[in-house]
Amino acid sequence: MREERNRENNIKKGGGLKILMEKNKSSEFEKKRSESREILEIEGKCFGITLKIILVYFDVDKGEIDRQNNEEIRKEIEEKIRNNKSKGLIILGDFNAHLEMIEPERKDDFNGKMIIEWVEKYNLILLNTDEKCIGKYTRSRGVQKSAIDMVLVNEEMYETCKDMRIDEEKEIISFSDHNLVSVTLRLGEKGRKTFETGKWTEDVFLKRDKKSVKENGEELERRWTENESRNVNDMISKMQEVQDILLIKKVKRKIGGEDNKEIECNWMTDEIRREISKKKRYKEKIEKM
């Protein structure tokens, strides 16, 4: 699935808003109507959970027209929050907001105060300030750093959230002044049933060691050069292909058991499991001698 909203030439430069989603029979979304071209909303089901996702861009400019546009965006999002009937709610994007609780050296600006008000008024959780968040700065250009990209969720989504990671070192994406923000969610009845019955499950990890990251960068650069990638869509497609090959690692582990406790840690791999089995067999032979 790919939903996008490109900005018109006479409104704003840039690529606009986009949501990319892998085709999966367990998830089905549709784009909802928005008055502002700086709001992209999708709604549907994901692994049995009704979910609304609102992607937004607030203008960084502080002129009268831009402040008015931001106010219209704010009103429309607040209406969407009030009318939300989905169990899960995620609001994310470039808020161009500053919060003193994240950056002590800055004061809360207008958009920052708006976020605080949303948290209190609509019972939302700002993941950027939560213990589940790893990293702080979402934008960096030279020595200048700021935390202007935010992710807000309701309580239902927070319960499914494993962590939020901000790629401050630009190990995954380095061509943008914004740092990649990743949120990992645990969704689906299938996962909970597997846990209860003590079966095997599969975890997906992103390799972060220097060798893998270097190989990923070199291969990505090679593909971009050979194919003469000239647009964002093609670059993103190549990036996903290379990441799936070189950075994504799938690991099986056993979960469940008595009292539904985990039997194996999430770092357990087939290689480690084989070595443990070898040591057990060797120990048994020694004991029989």
Write out pLDDT tens, residues 96-107.
999 999 999 989
Q: Say if residue 81 is in the same domain as residue 163.
A: yes
Cα 184–Cα 187–Cα 193 angle in degrees, nearest 5: 130
pLDDT mean across residues, the chain: 79
Calculate mean pLDDT across residues 241-261: 63
Do 45 and 174 lie in a common domain?
yes
**Is 269's pLDDT higher than 50?**
yes
- Does residue 222 share a domain with residue 93? no
Total number of domains constituting the chain: 3
Which residue range(s) make up the domain with 270? 188-207+247-289
Assess whether 110 and 183 both reside in one domain.
yes
Residues 223 and 166 in one domain: no
Lowest-confidence segment of 55-64, 164-173, 220-229 by average pLDDT: 220-229
pLDDT of the residue at 2: 47
What pLDDT score does 113 carry? 94
Q: What's the CATH code of the domain at 72? A: 3.60.10.10
Whether residue 193 sits in one domain with residue 173: no
Taking the complete model, does pTM exceed 0.85, yes or no?
Answer: no
Which structure tokens are listed for 132?
């589940």
Domain shared by 183 and 61, yes or no: yes
Alpha-carbon separation of residue 107 from 95, 103, 237 (angstroms): 15, 8, 39
Q: Do residues 163 and 42 share a domain?
A: yes
Shared domain for 175 and 287, answered yes or no, is no
Count the Cβ atoms, other than its own, within 10 Å of residue 166: 20
Task: Classify strands 161-166 and 133-134 as parallel, antiparallel or unpaired.
Answer: parallel
Q: Are residue 221 and residue 139 in the same domain, yes or no?
A: no
Predicted confidence at residue 66, as pLDDT, reads 84
Per-residue DSSP letter, 219: H
Q: What was the pLDDT predicted at 192?
A: 44
Q: Pick from 92-96, 198-202, 227-231, 234-238 the range whose average pLDDT is largest.
A: 92-96
